[in-house]
Amino acid sequence: MASMLVTVLLLSCSFILTHGFTFTEEDNVIVLTKDNFEMALTDFKHVMVEFYAPWCGHCKSLAPEYAIVAKLVKEETTDTRLAKVDATVETELAEKYGVKGYPTIKFFSLDKVYEYTAGRTAGDFMTWIKKKIGPIAVTVENVETARSVVTQEDLVVFGFFSDLSSDDAKEFLRLAADVEDVLFVITSVSDVFAEYRVTPNKVIAFKKFDEGRAEMMGDITADNIRAFLLKNRLPIVTEFTPESSQKLFAGEIKSHLILFISKKAEDFLTRIDSMKEAASKFLGKVLFIYINIDEEDNLRILEYFGMKVAECPAVRFIILGEDLIKYKPESTDLSSGTISTFVQNILDGKEKPHLMSDEIPMDWDAKPVKVLVGKNFASVARDKTKSVLVEFYAPWCGHCKKLAPIWDQLAEKYESHPDVVIAKMDSTSNEVEDLKITNFPTIKYFPKDLDEIVDYSGDRTLEALVKFIESDGKVMYHAEDASAPPTDTGTNGGAKPAKEEL
């Protein structure tokens, strides 16, 4: 009987706080709902919360690392815990805290809420959390502690100062306070200087990658340390993985050169060496990344760039911002010199962005619905002698498939009208320079004799679409009991309340 009771208690994974409230745990992670959320923020000084969706692949990948951190934090502190919220169930909480994608991770600390945007390994989480709840830099008093700390993380930035109250040390700490996901260490102990063969007032980056150690040159200022950190934060060529993705895409460097390659390829190491040689010229300006096309999940990225496995190895260049700008080299040569020239030309504004386009089908205008691709879009949609209604769709989109027969009927109705064109474009493989399509289907109207573009938001019925065309894009018809039409936001299987985040 006693053993059964113990088993039940273990399975429930619950603990009771002194005031009598109970929280349920799963792998040391507190399970929160709208009923106990505020209670947790009251009971603990610091709470990290993952807003997740059960179907989200990224959430599933994160779970083991998150559990490791939850256990470490629970063992090392009494006022900090990790928690999770099923945002598909607790929609009120998700809306309150602005959850747009999964997983979204927030840190609640002393009435403040911080967005977690660092990496997704246990080490990344621990470094970030310790920065929030502890000293901004670890002070080392002896060689033994220094040896232990230096090997804790993939990157440790170590300040060696003769006086911890000096201006140099203050600049070091000022930058340390501003960088949440890197471990900073500081010392003034001469024995530690000797251990690492360092003279006073130096900043050293200890790395578990590349050359292992880098020394900062120049004056010790927060700006110089930041620039030094940008050059040493990641391997000179970094593999894209679920663990590295946050560091790559949430970092300060927004220009990325990406190599798509199979790690099984005989010339893999030779290709990476060429990348390293080119990358050394752009440290702190451009991240050099490779994506292993042997990984099934990475094939989605190939599709996004309109690429096929047979084209690899190949490189693309992207600039992150409000809109993603992509560049494709004219040459397939992947030598260091060719890559360097390609990157430098982009930085100098000598390269034009690359827009995907299928080839123009031979029968693109054979049917009532005209088929547009990137290469014929302007000549058809921008033809001012006609009014053109275009559906931008994705082949996998359920809402697009539902609209297809209605779109065919609409085109048939206007087939005999010489100045009206009903068209469609697959936006997963075709792009237009000044149009950014993020939802499917998106419907846009290009009125005759005008430069303006009208976004259609009416019902997706034949009646509504006809009214819209007859009014020359002025009437958005909605049935009295109809709500706004749904759209797919880029996730297979239909619209969801939020997207998975990479």
E-assigned strand segments in 213-267: 213-215, 238-239, 255-261
Amino acid residing at 249: F
Percent of the chain with pLDDT over 90: 71
Contacts of 452 (CB under 8 A, 6+ apart): none
Measured CA to CA, the distance from residue 87 to residue 272 in angstroms comes to 41
- Catalytic annotation, pick one of 69, 307, 339, 400: 400
**Cα dihedral value 441, 446, 451, 455, nearest 10:** -40
- Catalytic annotation, pick one of 59, 129, 185, 237: 59
- 355-502: CATH superfamily: Glutaredoxin (3.40.30.10)
Q: Is 312 a known active-site residue?
A: no
Per-residue pLDDT of the chain (502 residues; tens, 9 = 90+): 344 333 333 333 333 333 345 689 999 999 999 999 999 999 999 999 999 999 998 899 999 999 999 999 999 988 999 999 999 999 999 999 999 889 999 999 888 899 998 888 898 899 899 888 888 899 999 999 999 999 988 999 999 999 999 999 999 999 998 888 899 999 999 999 999 999 999 999 999 999 999 999 999 999 999 999 999 999 999 999 988 888 888 788 999 999 999 999 999 999 999 999 999 999 999 999 999 999 998 988 888 888 889 999 999 999 998 778 899 999 999 999 999 999 999 999 999 998 888 899 999 999 999 999 999 999 999 999 999 999 999 998 999 999 999 999 999 999 999 999 999 999 988 989 888 888 899 999 999 999 899 999 999 999 999 999 999 999 998 876 444 455 554 443 333 334 444 4
Q: Are 219 and 228 in contact (CB under 8 A)?
A: no
The matching CATH number, chosen from 3.40.50.300, 3.40.30.10, 3.30.70.1150, 1.20.1740.10, for 135-232 is 3.40.30.10
Architecture of the CATH domain 2-131: 3-Layer(aba) Sandwich (3.40)
Contacts of 219 (CB under 8 A, 6+ apart): none
Q: Is 109 left (phi over 0), alpha (psi -120 to 50) or beta?
A: beta
- Looking at residue 486, what is its pLDDT? 52
Q: Are 249 and 215 in contact (CB under 8 A)?
A: no
Q: What tens digit of pLDDT does each residue of 14-38 get? A: 333 333 456 899 999 999 999 999 9
CATH number of 238-347: 3.40.30.10
- Catalytic annotation, pick one of 397, 411, 422, 464: 397
- Catalytic annotation, pick one of 56, 118, 122, 318: 56
Q: Where does the chain hold its CATH 3.40.30.10 domain(s)?
A: 2-131, 135-232, 238-347, 355-502
Q: Is 13 a known active-site residue?
A: no
Q: Are 97 and 113 in contact (CB under 8 A)?
A: yes
Q: Is 349 left (phi over 0), alpha (psi -120 to 50) or beta?
A: left
Measured CA to CA, the distance from residue 288 to residue 272 in angstroms comes to 10
